[in-house]
Amino acid sequence: MIKKLADFFDRHLQIEASQSTEAARHSLQLATAALLIEMTRADFEVKAIEQAKILELVKTRFQLNDSETSELVNLAENEADNAVTLHEFTSLLNDSYSYEQKVQVIELLWEIAWADGEIEKYEDYLVRKVAELLYVKHRDFIGAKLKVTDKAD
C-alpha cells in the first residue's frame, strides 16, 4: 500500500530536476486544478455553477484554450479521485510557488466556494486547511476571502 502511494506521488505530482519546465508547469497546474475540484466536493454537493467556475478560472489563470482547459480539468478530477490527502497537492505548490502565488490559489478556492453566493462551513474549513498547508498567513487568508466576496457587492 505504501509503495503504491509513493509510486502514485512520483508518477503524477513530483517535480524532479530532470523534468522540463513545461512538465513542471503542467504538474503545478494539475495540482492547483485538483484543489479546485476538491473545493467543489467540500460540501458534498457538486453544483453546475461551481464546475463552470472551475473551467472559467482554469482557462483564464493558466491561459489555456477550451480543449486544454477540459483536458486539465478531467485530469485534475482523476487526480482528486485518487488522492489520499491534500498534502499530495499542497507540497508540490509549496516547493514551487511563491508566497503571492499561494495566496492566489487561496483566492481561487474562495472563488469556487463563493460561486453559488454562499460559503458552506465545509468549504470554509477546506480553504482554511489548504491555507494552513500552504503556510498562508491568516490575514492573507481573510483578505482573499473578502476580495472575492466583496466583488459581489
Tens-place pLDDT, residues 12-63: 444 444 456 777 788 889 999 999 999 999 988 888 999 999 999 999 999 9
Question: Where would I find the H helices in 21-116?
Answer: 21-41, 48-62, 66-82, 87-96, 99-113
Nearest CA-CA partner of 131 in 152, 151, 153, 113: 113
3-state DSSP assignment of residue 59 = helix
Residue pair 148/114 in contact by the 8 Å Cβ criterion = yes
- Cα separation, 48 vs 27, in Å, equals 26
Tens-place pLDDT, residues 132-152: 999 999 999 999 999 999 876
At 59, list the grid cell: 482557462
At 151, list the grid cell: 466583488
- Cα separation, 8 vs 12, in Å, equals 6
At 104, list the grid cell: 492566489
Least confident of 26-35, 102-111, 121-130: 26-35
Residue ranges of domains in the chain, CATH in brackets: 24-151 (1.10.3680.10)
Name the range with the highest mean pLDDT among 7-11, 43-47, 117-121: 117-121
Q: What are phi and psi of 18, to 5 degrees?
A: -80, -15
At 145, list the grid cell: 476571502
0.75 cut: is pTM over it? yes
For residue 79, the surrounding DSSP H or E stretch is: helix 66-82
pLDDT of residue 98 exceeding 60: yes
- Cα separation, 79 vs 84, in Å, equals 10
Give the largest Cα separation in the chain, rounded: 50
- Cα separation, 150 vs 153, in Å, equals 5
